[in-house]
Structure 1
């Protein structure tokens, strides 16, 4: 889904649909306040965001998965499997499942950490525990009360913030902001920007701790330094991908942005390949887009070996402070943030 331009400011278009937003907000707020339908016997950490669209949840989930794995935990990720044909609950097998079946983000994350997909978060949690999970990382689901969550972290893109601060469809908020803050334990701001600063101020007013981080080019992107490329992506914030390539020293000869989760049609793939060949550019995309490419027979065959993949990693400004907070927040989780539970 591509966010409409009016979500960025309060204007006549947002006011026109305000009555529908009021109804949606009332329904979503009531849903937020429902008690959980059930719980599991391992800690559940939810990584979500206040708005529709990308904010940096996937890099944050992978950061946490690596951290807890270094402590000897066996984290599993719970995902809806958005965009996939399989309903779940099921454990993603990266050797057999592709993005068209399980969704692009689960397909990507399953290369590194066990992932269970399914719309029923309680069912996916129970399956993960049955598979040996010692800790669950809920990718998205801040507004989903079905599974009891022990720690809830909201990710906010500092450039876009919360847009015009209106609830869908008048704006990007998934529910009234105040109601969402009631069920949030902490906020992680990604990048710099006045809108992020405004969210930080609101978080402080609600007594919520605020942490800061940034998304940086990964090693694969840095290895492309000096290369002139035609970059393409279908992610929530394509400008982040462009900025990370520039930061890595990649020369951008062309940039094509599709809607988030966009699956390339045959003619689109052909156009990219023809343009890259005609202009002498190397093709480059994101790991999430590559996961979708590998899920389609035509693009898998046509683009295999042609596309470079450049990703991003989360870097926290104050990692020790964040880990200390997580440890405090995790007291009820009984997760000692030390090597004392390392697996043998």
Structure 2
């Protein structure tokens, strides 16, 4: 289900939806506050770095995890990833094997992350952390779970989309937030905003005044694969938190995008849905294209029919992240 448009209206702007749902939003935020105040039930023997967010839906946590994995590996470290495997059916502790598992079993994000580092899926994050440290991790990256108190976090990076910021500033269902901005930022160690220069300026305009913690900036850039994106028209589809960002990135490569399909985040790519999009693409004389995260959910029969535009996180300055990692690993 796509979030309502009023979630992402500027804070301070009159918003009937926000007003109507504000009592429920206050209640949601209060419940979250009580939850995060609970003491952790397990502390790992190696540092745990949480990559989380305040907003419901995608903000760029997976590209952030990939960038951190590669950065840590370049320093000779062995990070492992733990995830609850949202969207997957696996109930027990599972080490993700992209040759053996499917996104339907372990979730699309763990499938993507497993190509870069050992990745463990379990609804109980404490079990996943134990398994990771026993398997040789010297640092655990916790994918999401900023509001989950069960596992002690040695540090947390809060990831935000610079263009959307924290939406209208209200909690679900009055806005996109899992918890109030001030309370969430107070528990974080570093804020990472993702977007181009204009988006970063917009974020500073609306939210700069509430940011009291270390702040790093990054941008998602297409991975250069040698693909000529100007050579053919496309029908683009994406089931991520912010599909429009993918469509804009594709167009920025010079691609002619004839039609777009904005799907729900993690939406199953059924054969029926793909057949309809394939027929639409044929009618337009277009090529199907999607994101990396969506591509891991494709049925085998469609993996050669759909192109992928991979992106990577380009951190503007690693200074603040380095300082955080140095504190964790000293």
Shorter-normalised TM range = over 0.9
Q: Using a 3 Å threshold, how does the CA distance of structure 1 residues 163 and 310 change in structure 2: closer, same or farther?
A: same
Q: How does 1:28-107 map to 2 (within 5 A)?
A: 28-107=32-111
Match of 1:333 in 2: 328
Gaps of 5+ in 2: none
Tell me the secondary structure at the aligned position of residue 333 of structure 1: helix
Tell me the secondary structure at the aligned position of residue 328 of structure 2: coil
Tell me the secondary structure at the aligned position of residue 249 of structure 1: coil
Tell me the secondary structure at the aligned position of residue 125 of structure 1: helix
Residue 119 of structure 1: how far off its partner (Å): 1.8
Per-residue CA deviations over 1:227-277 (Å, capped at 9, x if unaligned) read 321111111111111122122222212211111111123322111111222
Match of 2:307 in 1: 308
Question: Residues of 1 paired with 2:230 and 2:91: CA distance?
Answer: 40
Q: How does 1:1-344 map to 2 (within 5 A)?
A: 1-9=1-9, 10-191=14-195, 192-193=198-199, 195-197=202-204, 198-203=206-211, 207-220=212-225, 222-293=227-298, 299-301=299-301, 303-319=302-318, 321=319, 325-334=320-329
Residue 221 of structure 1: how far off its partner (Å): 7.7
Question: Residues of 1 paired with 2:284 and 2:166: CA distance?
Answer: 39
Question: Residues of 2 paired with 1:278 and 1:330: CA distance?
Answer: 51
Tell me the secondary structure at the aligned position of residue 219 of structure 1: coil
Count of matched residue pairs: 322
Residue 36 of structure 1: how far off its partner (Å): 1.6
Normalising by structure 1, we get a TM-score of 0.89
Residues 230 and 255, structure 1, Cα contact 8 Å, conserved in 2: yes
Match of 1:296 in 2: none
Match of 1:339 in 2: none
Per-residue CA deviations over 1:17-75 (Å, capped at 9, x if unaligned) read 22222221111112222222111111111111111011111000000000111111111
Tell me the secondary structure at the aligned position of residue 154 of structure 1: strand
Question: Residues of 1 paired with 2:270 and 2:159: CA distance?
Answer: 31
Residues 182 and 210, structure 2, Cα contact 8 Å, conserved in 1: no
Per-residue CA deviations over 1:268-300 (Å, capped at 9, x if unaligned) read 21111112222221111111111111xxxxx42
Q: Which moved more, 1:185-194 or 1:163-172?
A: 185-194
Question: Residues of 2 paired with 1:199 and 1:222: CA distance?
Answer: 37
Tell me the secondary structure at the aligned position of residue 78 of structure 1: strand
Question: Residues of 1 paired with 2:311 and 2:44: CA distance?
Answer: 32
Gaps of 5+ in 1: 294-298, 336-344
Q: Using a 3 Å threshold, how does the CA distance of structure 1 residues 307 and 331 change in structure 2: closer, same or farther?
A: closer
Residue 331 of structure 1: how far off its partner (Å): 4.1
Normalising by structure 2, we get a TM-score of 0.92
